[in-house]
């Protein structure tokens, strides 16, 4: 079996658990048209303030979120403690731009952590390196004020060194107050100059100091790869793409986690129509694990603090499928066996799982495995799948005698993606 490059962060549980929930929540839930709305519409801070003044998620009950995540089969959660807009969901001592100063008036993160831990999930925080609110953050290509006629003057006196220290202070707070298992810093863009405004990377974030601080506070925390400091990366994070192969860095397979959305944006977006269907949702999870990766699937809660019905429906797709098939996900990884036509394989020791994407007529041909399987069954109902005798298969189907033939029911079982478990001898 392929093994990823070892990590300093403790990724043992992570690789086993495979499936997590991403949550993007902030002031952008009010406009409900993308978490980048402030940048996309170039909304100056004084106008964006109208969302801060109205942030009041009175229906927020993280126990409901945690229950939905656990029922969907998710084993960990990563919450945006601060996104690019700069608004903080906890009672940080280093800013006034935080939830406790909104009409809601209470910290959101402590109850969140408690609720998810109570459901048995591990906790991680997303922390934005960008900050469109902080007065020391130099205006750049993504900043809402990038096209301001006086941008040079607005940038005078801004001091990224002070901002880098602010980030270290906040990260220290998050780690010491909530003891997260994952820290997900986002993101770097050193080459992105815009009309003389430079992009930002490790020198601006002071990534080396930030990294040293994080490791000092919690040596085995899992860190992602977006602070422009290769040494810091435990996990690699392809975003809104489905890698066809195990993700490699310098030719070596690494621990990786694809992050994906239900509908395109991360923050709640009322008018978005591109919600993925149930087949896509389930296949994304399988495709990821079949290439040795994790899936971090995102929900963008509303400004009330609720998951909207479309998100609940999508989570129910995972819930229903995982209730019957989680054995082919947890503890599983890419198999070295060749995939049958229209199938994906995952493997956990001597158990091989065939995920059938297009239901074939009567027989499923599995290369290499003739004589190597003692028993086959469906995961959804535990019913046996018959193995055809090798000689019969070879003569009837004109295939090599290394090919194992499984006899299937005529109709696809009534699950989004059926899974056949093979016990290898
Ligand atoms: C991007 C976006 C951001 C989102 C993140 C998730 O970097 O800036 O909005 O939070 O990806 O991976």
pLDDT at 175: 98
Which residue's alpha carbon is nearest to atom 4 within ligand 1?
Answer: 266
Q: Is the pTM of this model over 0.85?
A: yes
Q: Which two tokens stand for residue 91?
A: 């009672």
Q: Would the CATH topology of 12-328 be identical to that of 335-424? A: no
Mutate to test the pocket of ligand 1, among 186, 297, 299 (most ligand atoms within 8 A of CB): 186
Q: Residue 292 and residue 20: Cα distance in Å, rounded?
A: 15
Nearest CA to ligand 1 atom 10: 266
pLDDT band at 394 (very low <50, low <70, confident <90, very high): confident
Q: How far is the CA of 186 from the centre of ligand 1 (A)?
A: 7
The answer to whether 19 and 75 have CB atoms below 8 angstroms apart is: yes
From atom 3 of ligand 1, which residue's Cα is the shortest distance away?
A: 266
- Cα of 284 vs centre of ligand 1, distance in Å, is 19
**Residue 424 pLDDT:** 98
Using CB distances shorter than 6 Å, the residues near ligand 1 are: 24, 35-36, 186-187, 239, 259, 266
User: How many angstroms separate the CA atoms of 238 and 68, rounded?
Assistant: 25
Q: Coil, helix or strand for 360? A: coil
In the predicted model, what is the mean pLDDT of the chain?
97
Tokens of 231: 């040494």
Instruction: Write out pLDDT tens, residues 241-296.
Output: 999 999 999 999 999 999 999 999 999 999 999 999 999 999 999 999 999 999 99
Question: SS3 of 77, please?
Answer: strand
Q: What is 335-424's CATH number, 2.60.40.1180, 3.30.1490.100, 1.10.10.10, 3.30.1050.10?
A: 2.60.40.1180
Q: Where are the domains of the chain?
A: 12-328, 335-424
Q: What is the pLDDT of residues 40-85, one digit of tens each?
A: 999 999 999 999 999 999 999 999 999 999 999 999 999 999 999 9
% of the chain surpassing 90 pLDDT: 97
B/e letters for 339-371, b = 16+ CB within 10 Å, e = fewer, are: ebeebbbbbbeeebbbbbbeeeeeebbbeebbe
- Give dist(CA 342, CA 418) in Å, integer: 12
Q: Calculate mean pLDDT across residues 305-314.
A: 98
Res. 370 pLDDT band, cuts 50 70 90 = very high
pLDDT confidence of residue 390? 87
Over residues 177-199, the mean pLDDT reads 98
Residues ≥6 apart with Cβ < 8 Å to 229: 202, 207, 208, 211
* pLDDT of 407 above 90: yes
Closest ligand 1 atom, residue 36 Cα: 9
Mean pLDDT in residue range 186-192: 97
| DSSP letters for 254-294 | --EEEEEESSS-SS-BTT------HHHHHHHHHHHHTTTEE
**Domain 12-328 CATH (choose: 3.20.20.80, 3.50.50.60, 3.40.720.10, 3.40.50.300):** 3.20.20.80
CA angle, residues 187, 190, 196, in degrees to nearest 5: 125
| pLDDT at 393 (0 to 100) | 86
String of DSSP letters for 368-423 = T-TT-EEEEEETTT--B-EEPPHHHHHHHH---TT-EEEE--SSPPSSSS-EEEEE
Question: What pLDDT was estimated at residue 102?
Answer: 98
């Amino acid at each position: 079996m392929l093994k990823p490059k070892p990590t300093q962060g403790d990724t043992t549980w992570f690789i086993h658990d495979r499936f997590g929930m991403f949550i993007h929540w902030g002031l952008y839930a009010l406009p409900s048209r993308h978490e980048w709305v402030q940048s996309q519409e170039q909304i100056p801070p004084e106008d964006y303030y109208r969302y801060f003044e109205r942030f009041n998620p009175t229906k927020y009950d993280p126990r409901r979120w945690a229950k939905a995540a656990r029922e969907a089969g998710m084993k960990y959660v990563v919450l945006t403690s601060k996104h690019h807009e700069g608004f903080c969901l906890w009672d940080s001592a280093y800013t006034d731009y935080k939830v406790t100063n909104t009409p809601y008036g209470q910290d959101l993160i402590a109850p969140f952590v408690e609720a998810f831990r109570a459901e048995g999930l591990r906790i991680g925080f997303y922390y934005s390196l960008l900050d469109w609110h902080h007065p020391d953050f130099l205006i750049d290509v993504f900043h809402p004020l990038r096209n301001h006629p006086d941008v040079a003057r607005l940038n005078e006196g801004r001091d990224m060194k002070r901002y880098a220290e602010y980030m270290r202070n906040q990260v220290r707070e998050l780690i010491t107050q909530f003891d997260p298992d994952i820290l997900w810093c986002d993101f770097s863009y050193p080459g992105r100059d815009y009309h003389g405004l430079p992009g930002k990377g490790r020198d601006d974030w002071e990534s080396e100091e930030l990294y040293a601080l994080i490791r000092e506070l919690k040596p085995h925390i899992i860190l992602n790869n977006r602070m422009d400091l290769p040494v810091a990366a435990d996990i690699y994070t392809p975003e809104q793409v489905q890698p066809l192969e195990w993700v490699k860095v310098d030719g070596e397979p690494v621990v990786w986690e694809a992050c994906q959305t239900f509908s395109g944006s991360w923050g709640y977006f009322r008018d978005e129509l591109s919600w993925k269907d149930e087949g896509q949702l389930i296949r994304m999870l399988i495709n990821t694990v079949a290439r040795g990766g994790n899936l971090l699937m995102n929900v963008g809660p509303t400004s009330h603090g609720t998951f909207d019905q479309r998100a609940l429906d999508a989570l129910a797709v995972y819930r229903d499928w995982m209730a019957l098939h989680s054995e082919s996900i947890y503890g599983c990884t890419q198999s070295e066996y060749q995939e049958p036509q229209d199938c994906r394989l995952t493997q956990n020791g001597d158990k091989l799982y065939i995920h059938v994407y297009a239901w074939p007529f009567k027989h499923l041909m599995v290369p290499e495995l003739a004589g190597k399987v003692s028993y086959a069954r469906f995961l959804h109902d535990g019913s046996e799948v018959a193995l055809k005798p090798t000689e019969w298969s070879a003569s009837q189907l004109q295939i090599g005698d290394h090919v194992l033939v499984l006899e299937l029911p005529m109709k696809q079982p009534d699950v989004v993606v059926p899974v056949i478990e093979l016990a290898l001898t």
